[in-house]
A and B are shown apart, each in its own frame.
Chain A
Amino acid sequence: MSEAREKILRGIRRSLGRGPRLGEERAALQARLASPRPNLIPKRARLPHAEQVVLFQAMAEKLDATVARVSSLAEVPDAVAEYLAARNLPTTIRMSPDPELDAIPWDRRPLLTLHRGRAAPEDLVGLTPAFAGIAETGTLMFASGAARPATINFMPDTHIAVLRSSQVVGDYETAFARLRAAAGREDGLFMPRTVNLVTGPSRTGDIEQTLILGAHGPRRLHVVLVDDEAH
């Protein structure tokens, strides 16, 4: 279809009444891409970090997620087990094969059965590490990778995310900047195959505009928010 490609590009230039962008104009456009600048950031996101963590929790809860705050990674197994028990949910968990999650002392709750790997159709509970928490809308960011299959974020009925408080940022832009910085490259080729921004559980309004949770993705979203910062 390279014929179509030329045709479309030529058509665009003809309509705009100019040739291809060259020279200085082109350099200016390239510079805009090379050093992306945030536009207006809403005031609600521009807060001291501790308040951003509070806002993250408040917004996530407002948008139908649940949040449990714990003070160390060692408390995560208890938090997970209690969450599942309180809702009568199964204790077999599909977990990302992620070193950080592996470092959690799971043997404290021997009744939790952990399976590592990508999600399978029969998995009912999934557990994955978040890359960031975005305070302005209580949104979680997940970055896929060999240790973080994206299927776990979507297939199980219940999705539990582990988020560290140092990962909470005010706005989407800061989360993206961290993603860029984590890859350490400036050519734009830093995105993981899948980046999911997740805000609350799956929902639909397609039957008489009635809100129903759990359309195709998880019915429940639970965040275990781990305090990992010195106060």
Chain B
Amino acid sequence: MSAFPVTSRNFRKNTAKAHADENLRKALKRMESGAIVRRAAVVAELPEFDALRDEALAIKNHVLGNLDFYLERFEAQVKAQGGHVHWCATPRQARETILSICQAVGARTATKGKSMIAEEIALNPFLEENGIEPVETDLGEYIIQLADEPPSHIIGPALHKTKEQVTELFHQHHRKYGREERVTDPQALVNEAREILRQKYIDADVGITGANFLIAETGSTIIVTNEGNGDLTQMLPRVHVVITSIEKVVPTLEDVSTILRVLARSATGQEFSSYTTFSTGPKRAGDLDGPEQFHVVLLDNGRSDLLGTEMQDLLRCIRCGACMNHCPVYHSVGGHAYGWVYPGPIGAALDPHFLGIEEAQHLPNASTFCGRCESVCPMRIPLPDIMRHWRERAFESAVTPPQQRFGIRLWAWVAMRPALYRAGARLAMRLLAWLGRREGRLSSLPFAGGWTAGRDLPAPQGRTFQELWAARRGARK
């Protein structure tokens, strides 16, 4: 697979492509009706849901304020139970660390559970370049690995693929295993992947998983999955590598219990995911199965710089995907348009940190500030506020293009002169009303071609908001 092609800069072009993609439209439509309804139903079953969110938020804030302490404690507990912790400041260090763990056991293949951090550090292409075959085992990840595409959603990486496309991919790639038939039924497709991947788990030398949480109290790493692939990935090979990042640590099993109660409900609308697995060190004396080595690769990649800033709240994120499931912009453009690992509102708020505001300048603008993301975020992350901070930064650092800057300045200048503003608005309303007098709507507008390309603007009735407001106030008095 090729490295994650960063295309955030081309956000506008990407969205145009997405709009033209009929399959993507259907997939996003399904998500709108499915994920939102499921979450709402399961949340309604738990009256304490909002109180649990508040507690989850407080736990994470407590951790972030004491992150150094909890990481050191986590490390000590992993070591005390025979595991290893590798601290990595950069993606490069993380990639090289994993490679050397693989090389030390002469690994030829590594099975992988789903991990967004592995995407963040572009692990697969690096392993391939170095002669190690990475095998994705999460069904969605497996599908997009065959398609050589990046994930389009942090929970459902192949959300954008239709079953016909999966049929073709399997047909094309499974012939080498003697499978000639074209399988079309989803159940049969799942069975086929299950059978083929079974042997891969058994043959792999190294199993790589992510972690949803790290427990300081016990030195455990936790994965939350539905398929069971993460479990087979970590229990069958000789070596288990956990690739994770520093903000995932939580103090105790009690604390993680609280957060787990909001995670699955927010992510997939389930009461609980099928498998929540706690891994602590390598296999013990007398154990009949389990890995002989246990390595935790702990990535910073600039996260520590977010602490103490107005962006710190981003580090509470538990990657549930609820914000993108509920985002009208995501519904309209899908995940690939964002152009990097994390799409949707969390991506719009987080990617500029990793990619730089210049590359990611369009992402914080890809929001209507409707606030749905914040309202469903289990960790109550103020995503719109953070996007606004990025917009300000883009403006300050002169990344915003000159035309736009001029427009914003002009608007600010006019807005500070109420009489002029009112006169301007009145003139514009009258003009638009006159232009749209026939049809009652306007199908194109200067400076707003992008907006009117896909829809019409209803013609205004000829009076401004201020005029209507003044009239109403006058009427009341």
**Contact A36/B89 with A197-B272, A197-B276, A204-B227 known, Cβ cut-off 8 Å:** no
By a CB distance below 8 angstroms, the chain B residues around A154 are 228, 231-232, 235
A195-217 at interface with B (beta carbon < 8 Å): 195-210, 212, 214-217
Q: B300 near A: Cβ within 8 Å?
A: yes
B45-66 at interface with A (beta carbon < 8 Å): 46-48, 51-52, 55, 59, 65-66
Give bound CA distance, A29 to B31, whole Å: 42
Give bound CA distance, A149 to B291, whole Å: 12
B267-292 at interface with A (beta carbon < 8 Å): 268, 270-290
Give bound CA distance, A8 to B90, whole Å: 10
Partner of A209, one of B34, B73, B202: B34
- In the bound complex, do residue B287 and residue A193 qualify as a contact, i.e. CB atoms below 8 Å apart? yes
By a CB distance below 8 angstroms, the chain A residues around B129 are none
Partner of B227, one of A4, A26, A195, A216: A216
- In the bound complex, do residue B257 and residue A176 qualify as a contact, i.e. CB atoms below 8 Å apart? yes
Q: A150 near B: Cβ within 8 Å?
A: yes
Interface flags for A111-132 (1: CB within 8 Å of B; 0: not) read: 0000001110100000000000
- In the bound complex, do residue B280 and residue A205 qualify as a contact, i.e. CB atoms below 8 Å apart? no
Q: B21 near A: Cβ within 8 Å?
A: no
- Report the stretch among B190-198, B366-374, B386-394 that lies at the interface: B190-198
**Contact A191/B226 with A15-B308, A40-B52, A205-B156 known, Cβ cut-off 8 Å:** no
Q: B139 near A: Cβ within 8 Å?
A: yes
- Report the stretch among A69-77, A80-88, A101-109, A137-145 that lies at the interface: A137-145
Partner of A1, one of B97, B143, B307: B97
With CB as the reference atom, state the residue of chain B lying closest to A62: B271
**Contact A208/B271 with A4-B93, A21-B68 known, Cβ cut-off 8 Å:** no
Partner of B236, one of A37, A62, A151, A193: A151
Q: A182 near B: Cβ within 8 Å?
A: no
B295, chain A: closest CB distance, angstroms: 11
**Contact A12/B68 with A189-B218, A198-B274, A209-B30 known, Cβ cut-off 8 Å:** yes
- In the bound complex, do residue A16 and residue B308 qualify as a contact, i.e. CB atoms below 8 Å apart? yes
A-B contacts, CB under 8 A, total: 277
Secondary structure at chain A's binding surface: helix, strand, loop or mixed?
A: loop
Give bound CA distance, A215 to B87, whole Å: 34
- In the bound complex, do residue A1 and residue B253 qualify as a contact, i.e. CB atoms below 8 Å apart? no
- In the bound complex, do residue A121 and residue B226 qualify as a contact, i.e. CB atoms below 8 Å apart? no
Q: B186 near A: Cβ within 8 Å?
A: yes
- Report the stretch among B120-128, B158-166, B376-384 that lies at the interface: B158-166
B42, chain A: closest CB distance, angstroms: 10
Residue from A8, A44, A137, A218 having most chain B Cβ neighbours under 10 A: A8
Q: B149 near A: Cβ within 8 Å?
A: no
Give bound CA distance, A5 to B72, whole Å: 10
Residue from A2, A200, A216 having most chain B Cβ neighbours under 10 A: A216
Q: A231 near B: Cβ within 8 Å?
A: no
Q: A110 near B: Cβ within 8 Å?
A: no
- In the bound complex, do residue A39 and residue B254 qualify as a contact, i.e. CB atoms below 8 Å apart? yes
Partner of B271, one of A15, A137, A153, A203: A137
- In the bound complex, do residue A202 and residue B227 qualify as a contact, i.e. CB atoms below 8 Å apart? yes
Partner of B48, one of A40, A198, A215: A40
Partner of A216, one of B137, B278, B289: B137
By a CB distance below 8 angstroms, the chain B residues around A26 are 69
Q: B132 near A: Cβ within 8 Å?
A: no
By a CB distance below 8 angstroms, the chain B residues around A173 are 253-254, 257
Range of interface residues on chain A?
35 or more
- In the bound complex, do residue B190 and residue A15 qualify as a contact, i.e. CB atoms below 8 Å apart? no
By a CB distance below 8 angstroms, the chain B residues around A203 are 226-227, 274
With CB as the reference atom, state the residue of chain A lying closest to B194: A216
Residue from B255, B289, B308 having most chain A Cβ neighbours under 10 A: B289
Residue from B73, B186, B251 having most chain A Cβ neighbours under 10 A: B186
Residue from B88, B186, B187, B257 having most chain A Cβ neighbours under 10 A: B257
Give bound CA distance, A197 to B289, whole Å: 18
Q: A99 near B: Cβ within 8 Å?
A: no
By a CB distance below 8 angstroms, the chain A residues around B66 are 21, 29
A153-212 at interface with B (beta carbon < 8 Å): 153-155, 171-173, 176, 188-210, 212
Partner of B288, one of A2, A11, A117, A189: A117
Q: A47 near B: Cβ within 8 Å?
A: no
With CB as the reference atom, state the residue of chain B lying closest to A65: B274
**Contact A63/B271 with A1-B86, A207-B186, A208-B30 known, Cβ cut-off 8 Å:** yes
Given contacts A1-B86, A38-B257, A44-B46, 14 further A-B contacts (CB under 8 A): A1-B93, A4-B87, A11-B304, A33-B252, A37-B254, A39-B59, A149-B287, A149-B289, A154-B231, A195-B220, A206-B143, A206-B156, A210-B186, A216-B227
B: which residues have CB within 8 A of A?
27, 30-31, 34-35, 46-48, 51-52, 55, 59, 65-73, 77, 80-81, 86-89, 93, 97, 137-140, 143, 156-159, 161-163, 166, 186-187, 189-191, 194, 197-198, 202, 216-220, 226-229, 231-232, 235-236, 246, 251-255, 257-258, 260-261, 268, 270-290, 298, 300, 304-309
